[in-house]
Structure 1
């Protein structure tokens, strides 16, 4: 297995699994206005398709983690890919916004198996510094996937209907399932958990009573309220309100991803010098300031499209200082239960995204205002949590 674990094929499969969270949503974002028109649905109804995905993704993580610890990685991932394919096919055949919301929940339950258990596979295969290097590589892929997704979705939409996007996702799931057959099981029987799934689920109760973990979780959760408010509102703000062609939407979306990647690279260099907790707080200030600037532009129209795009670039870029540092801080508190901590924090921050996308959907009025106000509230909340709830030296307390 030592030679196989270092092969490009293993990295490619793990990268594909890690990217399912991004591609599930980012590929169809440019098609949201077209879907709303075809299904005779309002923008708010279509934004609920993102909220539905988040419901399935946040709750599913808490299930797949213990299942993977007890039954191994490859089998549950394969089941998840089948569920994802069924959900994607259901979306492609849907005749109403409500049906798409339902099938997006199904799609998410399958997608999160790939994401959660691919992280566990990295821990199975690589140790020490090599594990950190491989995880960093996969996180880079997670940043690239949202960059490619909207661009690819816009190109599919240019030559076919929005339904073709979901059939492409079915094909991606089938191809990944076939590729999974060449990846050996990474979690041997002797290392698997012997406790019941019920006992594993009850273990989450111990983690939520740790106020330091909750401090990090609250910070990243507040930020993700803004992230998913942006994901739900940006297609309509850019394409419908400002008349941006779907193809150009992909470029604007990609610029935000490049900002995230640049901030992540900066964080890698600065974290050893200034510490992750301090950089997390700086990121919170950037998120709060950018959110307030966005609210002003979104409510008044100041600066037009540029007035909207510029603060959103800063807000999204703050992710590079917030997400990695918050996750690292939380994981440092309970290294013996890193998988459970990762699943818990992931479930909470994706669950918080339901609030962001859901409120934008409810308040949708055809203007960028609801999205802008929601991002502003999330940015200010992120700053407050980072400065009041996050310990200065988490691992030492």
Structure 2
């Protein structure tokens, strides 16, 4: 794939993290503006996660039936309109609804970006491109909270959504002018009537399901961090909103660095091998984070070290899990990408909501959810690896 296509796909993949990370520093200001508390403002985050999980199921079959460009442009247009609606939300209920619709548009880029990569690359090539996309989209969680904190303090939280409106419109123009149809002409177009059948086959495939859940549970841990970090950093440890982005960006930088190391390591080891090794780092760091937060230390830095390792390890886990799940999907790549994203963000929405439910005025709920995700990730990844090896053995005998 050429650099221009990767850049556009990276921008499309960045819709998710931008729409999430950009407004995190604004939680206290939004709670004040709507006369509520930050726990209720977190519902806008849960609504976005829910929209991401539901919307992806629709885009997959549509992308397999009509190609990649039409649903992609439709989704970007919907994201742009909903972002504008968020900026002028008169109350919290309006904002929650607009965020849900914004997610329905934004998930088009996430689904179809994976499908485009699958159209063009094999398993190892896909893992490399996914790692490169992590570099492009990884700039979002570094820059977004910093810019978001600056905008909140200077022009108000509404300006965050106006910037998202402008960005998405610009990306839509780039897609229209610079991203050609990637679905091969010889690949049969899948009828929409067979969507449920395709999803049923994917859910009945234990190897696909295992890899999808491995990535999904890992993302759930990351979203528990995203949901809990504004309270932990800003409220609990007194980090100014304009400095929140530096801490958030440091973890994102670790994520990007590991993703690029992963891309180089793929030349010697396959994505499945690297995936089953990295999950142990993730669970170890998650349990260390839980131990530190349980001590209720007054200093922030002991918490930051295991948190950095945990988030950084996702730079290897996520691209490899996605590549393994998408490998060999062929004509149903759109549906496979949609189911992959739906499973990932359904689990993530639950994790974000769980952090809010367990809220006790400390960092323990965030760390507890992350560590539980780590334990589940290791369990699912190891079981999937055994199933994959057993399937390969059977195919070799046949």
Q: TM over 0.5: same fold?
A: yes
Structure 1 position 232 matched with structure 2 position 232: no
Q: 1:82 to 1:280 in 2, by over 3 A?
A: same
> Which residue in the other structure is 1:283 paired with?
278
Residue 44 (structure 2) aligned to one of 33, 45, 49 = 49
> Which residue in the other structure is 1:29 paired with?
24
- SS at 2:286 equivalent: helix
Deviates more, 1:188-197 or 1:198-207: 188-197
Give unpaired runs (5+ residues) of structure 2. 394-398
Query: In 1, distance between residues paired with 2:293 and 2:257?
Result: 25
Query: In 2, distance between residues paired with 1:230 and 1:135?
Result: 22
Equivalent pair of 1:43/1:361 in contact (CA under 8 Å): no
* 1:160 Cα deviation after fit: 0.9
Equivalent pair of 1:29/1:153 in contact (CA under 8 Å): yes
Q: 1:47 to 1:70 in 2, by over 3 A?
A: same
* 1:387 Cα deviation after fit: 2.5
Which whole-Å deviations, capped at 9, do the CAs of 1:161-190 have from their partners, x for residues lacking one?
A: 001101111111222233333236415795
* 1:302 Cα deviation after fit: 2.8
* 1:152 Cα deviation after fit: 1.8
Structure 1 position 73 matched with structure 2 position 65: no
Which whole-Å deviations, capped at 9, do the CAs of 1:225-263 have from their partners, x for residues lacking one?
A: 211111000011101111101122101111111111222
> Which residue in the other structure is 2:356 paired with?
361
With normalisation by structure 1, the TM-score equals 0.89
Query: Equivalent residues in 2 for 1:152-171 (5 A)?
Result: 152-171=147-166
Equivalent pair of 2:44/2:96 in contact (CA under 8 Å): yes
Number of residue-to-residue matches in the alignment: 391
Which whole-Å deviations, capped at 9, do the CAs of 1:172-213 have from their partners, x for residues lacking one?
A: 122223333323641579557544312123211011111122
Equivalent pair of 1:72/1:185 in contact (CA under 8 Å): no
Query: In 1, distance between residues paired with 2:97 and 2:233?
Result: 26
* 1:136 Cα deviation after fit: 4.2
> Which residue in the other structure is 1:101 paired with?
96
Q: 1:364 to 1:67 in 2, by over 3 A?
A: same
> Which residue in the other structure is 2:365 paired with?
370
Query: In 1, distance between residues paired with 2:41 and 2:222?
Result: 17
* 1:41 Cα deviation after fit: 2.0
Query: In 1, distance between residues paired with 2:273 and 2:184?
Result: 41
Query: In 2, distance between residues paired with 1:130 and 1:224?
Result: 22
Q: 1:250 to 1:188 in 2, by over 3 A?
A: closer
Query: Equivalent residues in 2 for 1:1-397 (5 A)?
Result: 6=2, 8=4, 10-123=5-118, 126=120, 134-183=129-178, 185-187=180-182, 190-191=185-186, 193-302=188-297, 304-332=299-327, 334-335=329-330, 337-391=332-386, 396-397=392-393
Query: In 2, distance between residues paired with 1:363 and 1:250?
Result: 25
With normalisation by structure 2, the TM-score equals 0.89
Deviates more, 1:233-242 or 1:323-332: 323-332
Which runs of structure 1 show a deviation greater than 6 angstroms over 4 or more consecutive aligned residues?
A: 128-132
Q: 1:45 to 1:209 in 2, by over 3 A?
A: same
Give unpaired runs (5+ residues) of structure 1. none
Query: In 2, distance between residues paired with 1:334 and 1:174?
Result: 31
Equivalent pair of 1:296/1:302 in contact (CA under 8 Å): no
* 1:356 Cα deviation after fit: 0.8
Query: In 2, distance between residues paired with 1:127 and 1:311?
Result: 34
Deviates more, 1:307-316 or 1:280-289: 280-289
Deviates more, 1:366-375 or 1:102-111: 366-375
Equivalent pair of 2:127/2:320 in contact (CA under 8 Å): no
Query: In 2, distance between residues paired with 1:98 and 1:366?
Result: 25
